[in-house]
Structures are given as structure tokens and as C-alpha cells.
Amino acid sequence: MSKVYVNEKAGTDDSAAGFGTEEKPFLTPAYASYSSPEATIYLYKQVEESEEFAYVEISASALKKAKKGADGIKKKLEKQAKAAEEQAKKAEEQAKKLAELDLIKIVEDEKLPAAKKIKLRAIQENLETRVAVQGWVHRLRLQKGVAFITLRDGTGFIQAVLSGDLAKARQTQELTIESTVVIKGVISKLPEGKSAPGGVELKADYYEVVGLAPSGDESFTNKAPENSDPSLLLDQRHLTLRGETLSAVMKVRASLLRAIRRFFAEEGLLEVTPPCMVQTQVEGGSTLFKMDYYGEEAYLTQSSQLYLETCLPALGDVYCVQESFRAEKSHTRRHLSEYTHIESELAFIEFDDLLSHLERLITKTVQYVLEDEVAGPLIKQLNPDFQPPKTPFLRMEYIHALEWLNEHGIPNEEGEKFKFGDDIAEAAERKMTDTIGTPILLIRFPVEIKSFYMQKCKDDPRVTESVDVLMPNVGEITGGSMRTYDYDELIAAIKREKLDLDSYYWFTDQRKYGTCPHGGYGLGTERILAWLCDRFTVRDCSLYPRFTGRCKP
Ligand code: 4AD
């Protein structure tokens, strides 16, 4: 009878030629039994009562165990072989199927009228004509003999129906979400009872794939699954922007900026573009982003206000839509490190003019956005309960806000009752605004908690002609004030704040060469959007939000 050798420390379970000998033993008795069922198994082990190792015949009990193990190995290998066979069969069938599909060629019928290239926003004007639409596969449904593609081109959506060879072809069977395609065909209104975007459907007669997006692990849906961690979604912002919600907010954003510019044009304000790289601060040193400007210290602008003020004598009332930068330590839902700041400055006005201008600005802008045929329906979708604000807004003095907060048991930052001079922090401000539930013009803040440039009230020099516009669900969306226009008073304020007077010469000159009472404000675009579109955070209202710890992509 033949012999087979096992060394449970140094052997190898391999049935290739040469294994199972004294020189090249197997690793396990089970494998030895599987590979040579008839042979006698010898195990390499310590010889009893000695230091020596040698091959000894396997004991009866160990042999029984080895045979059981051998059965297991046999079954496992048979299973593996069967699976491999099935897989090979499947691959062969797939290849056959694809070869058959390859025989189906998608060709354009040259006898059809030339297709008119249109954007999806122009669907309704192009019914019953042959059109070519181009875009991204937003949704895809493959059924037997028919395929439905929801196409997106940024201006709208359409459902295209592919039937016959168009549906069967390999190109369609292998199509993926987010691939780009050109589809030609005729758009028709859907009969009653059927539904698709815009109530229409494109019956495709031809289509081409322009860029095929990956399938499998790399597929679009695997890259940024909807309910993933917010930071993962932000890493994939370039892809998540394609989603219906984020893109809707960006469309409302565009409409809002258009509406604001329309309002400013109606009010006779001129648009200017102040610099972003500056050497003076506006809103306190703690939020300045410092930069090295050819060896000199400079900052990214916190606000264009001071520059707007210098435009008044040259251009009259002005505004800008400019990025502002704040090195905010606070990690809140309404703070960004970079935001789009809409600021304006008005000459020869009184505080009351500023307040009514702000009311008009907000109500008119909201009206224009709601009237916009793209943005209006999107706001309904994002914020179904949205009620446009009505004028006049509630005007509330800071001192009365403190009384309101104390009466409602809302404490200050130290957990105590509010007293004159306390800042009304975000949480308290939110509670008050949400409880009152309407826009509030919070006015007349104390000098010490507001910026150096604010005009003091004539009837009470402890407070300023200042205003914050507060909206339910967001809190402060706008901050503004009348500006100190007396030269000496402004110089004193700059000194009080320990700012470098010399670097403000261009700003203080405004009070020297023809001063005038004037005022202005800044609106946070993302905050207005969070209010309009009912978003939890301003991060959802910025294209590529920047905040503490995030400056990419
Ligand atoms: O109240 P702020 O700091 O006022 C100014 O900068 C003035 N110089 C503006 C002016 O009078 N021209 O900022 C104005 C608005 C705030 O009400 C808020 O909406 C927004 O800018 N804002 C921010 N938005 C997002 N992230 C931040 N970190 C913001 N800081 C201010």
C-alpha cells in the first residue's frame, strides 16, 4: 500500500506533482486523505518520550477525522467547479445575446425631416415637430421592448420613449444614469391619465450616446447615495449638484439675483464692483482672513460697504453683488467663510427712508422671484407653506426686544436676564423671530455692540441708527445702518476702535470732501435663500460652500 506524508507545520495542501512525499508533505491529514484515499497517512510528529521528530502512522481516530475532512473538501471543490461552469455558461449566453444585440444597428432614417435642436425649456413651443434634445440621463427604466429615459439638460426635464430596435439595441441595454445623449423625435402632449414631466413625451426615432457614464461600483448612484454623511456629499458636490433639490435652489438663487438687480434698477441704483483684496477691516478683526500681498499684510474683504460709500459722490446710489469673507470660528448653520454679499449705499436719506427701502427691497424681490416662471414653482415645491411678507414689517427697538426676551424667559449668553448692552445671540434671536413668526426690523442697537461707522441716534446717543432684518426660521438676513457722516465723530470712532487711522484716509475723506447723511445695508444671499427655499442651512444655498474645515472641491 502506498504512503502519503503530512507535516502540519511546514506542509502544503496542493495536489500538483510531487506533493505528499516525505520531502514535500501535505499540510493537513484531511487533504492527504482527499488526494490519496487508499494510501496510509504518516504524520510528522514528536516521538513519544524523546526530543526527536519522525513520520508516524496516523492513529485510527485521527484517520476517521481526516476522512470526514476529505469529504468536506470534495464537496467544496465540486461546488466551486459547478459555479465556475455556470458562470462560464452565463458569460457565453451574455456574449451570444450581445452579439445578437450588436446586429441591431441604430441608424437615423434620412427620409425624416431634419431635427430642430432645442433646449428643454422650449418644449411647449415645439410640440409635434421633429426635434433634437441633448442632455444627461436623469432616470432610466428598461422594460421588455421599451425604454424610458428622463432626460435633463439644466433647463428642464423630458421623458423620452424608445421602442423597437432603439430599445433592444446594445447601446440601450448598456446605457447608464448620467450618460449624455442626443435624442431625436417628436414631442407630443400625453393623453389624460398618463403623467410625465411637463405633461409631454418624446417619441424617439433615433438617439446617440455622447458620453457613457460608468456602471457597477463606479456608477453615479454609488458615488453619492442620497442619505450619506453630509461631509461625503460635500466631497461629491460636483455630482450632488445634479440632484433635483440642490439644482432647484441654485435656480432660485439665479432668479433672486436677477430680481434684486431689477429692483435696484427700478430704484435707480448703479452696480459697481469693489475689490476683494483690501487692507482695511469693516466688521472687526476677529473674522479677518489675512493674506500676504506682495509682502504686505492684506485681507479678503468682509464687506464692500466702505468702498460703496466712496462711490456716492461719483455715481449716486450704488450697489454690489460681491463675495465677502469671514473667518468665522462659529460652526453654525447660518455662517459661511465665503458668501455672496448684496450691499447697497444710499445718499441723502434719513433712517426711516432706509427702513422703508429695505421693506420694498424684500417684498418686491420676493414678488419677482415668485412671478418667475422657473423659480416660482420651485419655491412652491421646496417651501409649500411660504407666505410672501407684507409691509409694513414689525419695527422693534433693541430695548423692547430685551423686554420681550425677558418676559418670555429666554436668557442671555450667561444664562441671565438680558440687560442693556448685551448681544442678542443667534439662539435667542431665533427663538424670538420664530415665535413672532413675521419679518422684524430690529432697530436702535447700542453703540458698543455695533460697528464703528454707525450713526448715533439724535434722541439717544447710547444707541445707533442701525437695523437687522430678522426672518422666521433663519434669523438675521440683513444688517444695515445710517453712517456717521461728521468727520470728527468718525475719526473719534476709528480711534476708539484702535484701528489704524492712516489706512482709512480714503474713507474719512468722504466726510471731508462733501459729506452727506447716508446709509446702507448688506444682505446675505444664502440666508435669504435659506428662508425662501426652507433650507436647514446656508450651506445648501451656496454652489460650493466654504466653512471651517472645508475649502474643497
Ligand atoms: O451684519 P453684517 O456683518 O454687516 C456688514 O457687513 C455691513 N458692512 C453691511 C453693509 O451695511 N453694507 O453682514 C451683513 C449680512 C448679514 O445680515 C448676513 O445676512 C450676512 O451678511 N452674513 C453672512 N452670511 C453667511 N455667512 C456669514 N459668515 C455671514 N456674515 C454675515
Which triple of cell numbers denotes residue 410?
429666554
Mean pLDDT over residues 34-51, rounded?
89
453 lines ligand 1 (CB under 6 A): no
The mean pLDDT value for 136-153 works out to 96
Q: Ligand 1 center to residue 516 CA distance, Å?
A: 24
Grid-cell match 444664562, residue found: 415
- Secondary structure of residue 420 in the 3-state scheme: coil
CATH architecture label of 3-85: 2-Layer Sandwich (3.30)
Q: What is the DSSP letter of 173?
A: H
Q: Is 326 in the pocket of ligand 1 (CB under 6 A)?
A: yes
> Minimal CA–CA distance to 405: which of 388, 390, 423, 378?
423
Domain ranges across the chain: 3-85, 116-218, 244-541
Q: Which helix or strand (DSSP H or E) is residue 33 part of?
A: helix 29-35
Find out whether the peptide bond into 37 is cis, omega within 30 degrees of 0.
no
Residue with cell 417684498: 363
Per residue in 302-318, pLDDT (tens digit) is: 999 999 999 999 999 99
CB of 104 closer than 8 Å to CB of 119 = no
3-state secondary structure 50-73: CCCEEEEECCHHHHHHHHHHHHHH
As a whole number of angstroms, the distance between CA 116 and CA 114 comes to: 7
- Residues 345 and 311: beta-carbon distance below 8 Å: yes
For range 500-517, the mean pLDDT: 96
CA distance 112 to 209: 20
Pocket test for ligand 1, best of 260, 469, 527, 538 (most atoms within 8 A of CB): 527
Share of the chain above pLDDT 70, in %: 100
Whether residue 527 has its Cβ less than 6 Å from ligand 1: yes
DSSP lists the bridge partners of residue 340 as 323
Say how many Å lie between the first and final Cα of the chain, rounded: 72
Rounded distance between C-alpha atoms, residue 162 and residue 165, angstroms: 8
Determine which residue's CA is closest to atom 1 belonging to ligand 1: 479
Q: What is the mean pLDDT of the segment spanning 419-429?
A: 94
Closest protein CA for atom 2 of ligand 1: 479
Query: Is the CB of residue 465 below 6 angstroms from any atom belonging to ligand 1?
Result: no
d(C-alpha 157, C-alpha 148), whole Å? 13
Are 506 and 310 in contact, with CB atoms under 8 Å apart? Answer: yes
CA atoms within 13 A of residue 122's CA, in its CB half-sphere? 10
Pocket test for ligand 1, best of 272, 278, 283, 550 (most atoms within 8 A of CB): 283
Does residue 477's CB lie within 6 angstroms of at least one atom of ligand 1?
A: yes
Region 415-419: what's the mean pLDDT? Answer: 95
Of residues 336 and 18, the one with the higher pLDDT is 336
Beta bridge partners of 324: 339
Locate the ligand 1 atom nearest the alpha carbon of residue 326 and give its number: 28
With cell 432697530, the residue in question is 443
Distance 18 CA to ligand 1 centre (A): 81
Q: Does the N-terminal peptide bond of residue 392 adopt cis geometry, omega within 30 degrees of 0?
A: yes
User: Quick one: what percent of the chain has pLDDT higher than 90?
Assistant: 88
Angle at 397 between CA 396 and CA 402, to 5 degrees: 100
Which residues, 6+ apart, have CB-to-CB distance to 544 below 8 Å?
Answer: 237, 553
Q: Which atom of ligand 1 is nearest to the CA of 328?
A: 28
Confirm or reject: Cβ of 343 under 6 Å from ligand 1.
yes
Any idea which of 9-13, 210-214, 237-241 has the lowest mean pLDDT? 9-13
Q: Is the pLDDT of residue 394 over 70?
A: yes
Cβ contacts of 295 within 8 Å, gap of 6 or more = none
Task: Examine the pLDDT at 350 and tell me if it is beyond 90.
Answer: yes
Q: What is the enclosing helix (H) or strand (E) of 201?
A: strand 200-211
Atom of ligand 1 nearest to the CA of 480: 11
Q: Is the CB of 328 under 6 A from ligand 1?
A: yes
Residues making up the chain, counted from first to last: 553
Query: Does the C-beta of 480 come closer than 6 Å to ligand 1?
Result: yes
Which numbered atom of ligand 1 lies nearest the CA of 469? 17
Calculate mean pLDDT across residues 366-386.
97
The type of residue at 458 is K
Ligand 1, pocket-test mutation among 288, 330, 337, 339, most atoms within 8 A of CB: 339
Question: Strands, DSSP E only, in 445-537?
Answer: 456-457, 460-464, 466-471, 475-482, 518-524
425 C-alpha to ligand 1 centroid (Å): 15
Grid coordinates representing 117? Answer: 435642436
pLDDT at 491: 97
Q: Which of 431, 360, 429, 430 is closest to 390 using CA atoms?
A: 360
Q: What is the mean pLDDT of residues 431-455?
A: 96
Q: Cβ neighbours of residue 382 under 8 Å, at least 6 residues apart?
A: 245, 248, 249, 252, 533, 534, 535
**Is residue 517 lining ligand 1, measured as CB closer than 6 Å?**
no
C-alpha cell at 100: 445578437
Mean pLDDT of the chain: 95
pLDDT higher at 192 or 147: 147
- For ligand 1, pick from 310, 324, 346 the residue to mutate: most ligand atoms within 8 Å of CB: 324
Helix ranges (DSSP H) in 393-481: 398-407, 426-436
Centre of ligand 1 to C-alpha 496, Å, is 22
> Residue of the nearest CA to atom 27 in ligand 1?
335
**What is the structure's pLDDT at 48?**
79
Predicted confidence band of residue 153 (pLDDT cuts 50, 70, 90)? very high
CATH of region 244-541, choose from 3.30.160.20, 3.40.1190.20, 3.30.930.10, 3.40.30.10: 3.30.930.10
Report pLDDT for 1: 66
The neighbour count for residue 536, using CB atoms within 10 Å, is: 10
Nearest to 36 by CA among 28, 46, 45, 47: 28
Q: Give the HSE-up count for residue 139: Cα atoms under 13 Å, Cβ half-sphere.
A: 12
User: Quick one: which of 450, 444, 465 has its CA closest to 517?
Assistant: 465
Taking only the tens place, the pLDDT of each residue in 83-135 is 999 999 999 998 888 888 888 889 999 999 999 999 999 999 999 999 999 99
What is the best residue among 341, 535, 547 to mutate for testing ligand 1's pocket, by most ligand atoms within 8 Å of CB?
A: 341
Cα(121) to ligand 1 centroid in Å equals 35
Tell me the backbone φ, ψ of residue 482, rounded to 5 degrees: -80, 155
Of 45, 6, 43, 10, which is closest to residue 26 (Cα–Cα)?
A: 6
Query: Which 8-state DSSP code applies to residue 473?
Result: T
What would the mean pLDDT of 425-441 be, rounded to a whole number? 94
For ligand 1, is residue 336 a contact (CB within 6 Å)? yes
Take atom 24 of ligand 1 and give the residue whose Cα is closest. 524
Nearest atom in ligand 1 to the alpha carbon of residue 302 is 6
Residue 185, ligand 1, Cβ within 6 A: no
Q: For residue 276, how far is its CA from the centre of ligand 1 (angstroms)?
A: 15
> Ligand 1: which atom is nearest the Cα of residue 521?
11
Per the CB < 8 A criterion, the answer to whether 493 and 448 are in contact is no
Segment 35-44 shows an average pLDDT of: 92
148: which residues sit within 8 A by CB, 6+ positions away?
Answer: 139, 140, 141, 159, 160, 161, 162
Sign of the C-alpha dihedral, residues 122, 127, 132, 136?
Answer: positive
Lowest average pLDDT, out of 41-55, 153-167, 524-538, goes to 41-55
Residue nearest to atom 7 of ligand 1 (CA): 522
Question: Taking Cα atoms as reference points, which of 318, 319, 329, 280 lies closest to residue 300?
Answer: 280
Name the residue at shortest CA distance from atom 22 of ligand 1: 524
Q: Above 80 in pLDDT, residue 17? A: no
Query: Does residue 335's CB lie within 6 angstroms of at least one atom of ligand 1?
Result: yes
Query: 3.40.50.150, 1.10.1050.10, 3.80.10.10, 2.40.50.140: which CATH number matches 116-218?
Result: 2.40.50.140
Centre of ligand 1 to C-alpha 523, Å, is 6
CB 153 within 8 A of CB 120: yes
